[in-house]
Amino acid sequence: MYFGTRTPENHAWALLDQYVAAGGTWLDTADNYAFWADPSGLGGASERVVGSWLRVNHGAPVKVATKVRWAPLVPHRWPESAAGLSAPAVRRAVEGSLDRLGLDAVDLLWAHGEDRDVPLSEVVGVFGDLVAEGRARRLGAANHAAWRVERARALAVATGRETFSALQLRHSLLQPRPGAGLPDSGHRLLADEDLDLAQDAGLAVWAYTPLLNGAYSRSDKPLPAAYDHPGTRAVSAVLDDVTAETGATRHQVVLAWLRAQGITPLVGVSTPGQLAEALDGRALQLSADHLARFAAAR
């Protein structure tokens, strides 16, 4: 997310090299990353850094996903100037992303959020057309209500277009109080109905902010107030026990718990150590007893 802003380009390249050398495949970015951290007030820095690395590492065995929606069109004027999902807006956004990435097509194109000012049929139409034109290979819905995803999929089938095959939502082992607002604008929590839809329709599920910005292990990264409730304390106690029993880190246990649910965690890193921790934990598999104890605590 912060490649080219908080994470300098040379550091980002080193992280990408480390990731690919360890067998990493997917890179997930967005056209609005990270406008809030860029003096220009505009997005695109992350895509430019990934694109510059891809140009030098042509043929690297990676797949690239990016997102359109929410990029400010006027510097420092967000959300009032945020790009929507009208057909012209999506096409302009995708062309900009492909240019910054130096690609003819992305492996997965996400609708970064809903745009209820645009008919869903128009959104489905332009995303499907981009696949037909070879500009995207798969489609995903990020931060969408489950019923909107299913309606979009039905519209796509009815018109013979490519459908959404993946969901991306915020999810982690710890959960905020029901109904509590999150401090992060635009974030949508994964709900049971999302998992139900995914299982029924065979959709991939990707989870962002899986490590709660480092709050599981860093005292300088406190949990938001919405997570201050008895459930957090109960789950944290089990997490401490499982961490001790497995010899893994808290972060590695959380990522293993997500994978055990059939969910792909998206990990944002800014140091080699953070990346190594996530990669080194890929072999960790939680036992049925571990999972049962987490389920009981949640």
The tens digit of pLDDT for each residue in 238-279 reads 999 999 999 999 999 999 999 999 999 999 999 999 999 999
Q: Which residue has the higher pLDDT, 181 or 218?
A: 218
Whether the predicted pLDDT of 213 surpasses 90? yes
Q: Which residue has the higher pLDDT, 16 or 183?
A: 16
Percent of the chain with pLDDT over 70: 100
Whether the predicted pLDDT of 180 surpasses 90? no
Phi/psi for 54 (5° steps) reads -65, -35
> Which residues, in sequence order, are bridge partners of residue 25?
none
In this prediction, residue 179 carries a pLDDT of: 86
Mean pLDDT of 174-180: 92
Residue 130, both tokens:
């981009």
By the 8 A CB rule, do 252 and 280 touch? yes
The tens digit of pLDDT for each residue in 151-173 reads 999 999 999 999 999 999 999 99
Give the closest residue to 97 by CA, choosing from 128, 61, 71: 71
Contacts of 28 (CB under 8 A, 6+ apart): 65, 66, 206, 266
Model pTM score: 0.96
Residue 202, both tokens:
């065979």
Phi/psi for 65 (5° steps) reads -115, 140
State how far the Cα of 191 lies from the Cα of 204, in Å rounded to an integer. 14
CATH H-level, domain 9-170: superfamily: NADP-dependent oxidoreductase domain (3.20.20.100)
By the 8 A CB rule, do 257 and 288 touch? no
Whether the predicted pLDDT of 205 surpasses 90? yes
- Residue whose token pair is 């959380």: 254
In this prediction, residue 185 carries a pLDDT of: 80
The tens digit of pLDDT for each residue in 185-196 reads 889 999 999 999
Residue 139, both tokens:
């489609």
In this prediction, residue 240 carries a pLDDT of: 98
The tens digit of pLDDT for each residue in 67-96 reads 999 999 999 999 999 999 999 999 999 999
Q: Across all residues in the chain, what is the average pLDDT? A: 97
Instruction: Give the start-to-end residue ranges of the domains of the chain.
Output: 9-170
Whether the predicted pLDDT of 181 surpasses 90? no
The tens digit of pLDDT for each residue in 90-117 reads 999 999 999 999 999 999 999 999 999 9
H or E stretch covering 50: helix 45-56
Give the amino acid at 188: R
The tens digit of pLDDT for each residue in 117-144 reads 999 999 999 999 999 999 999 999 999 9
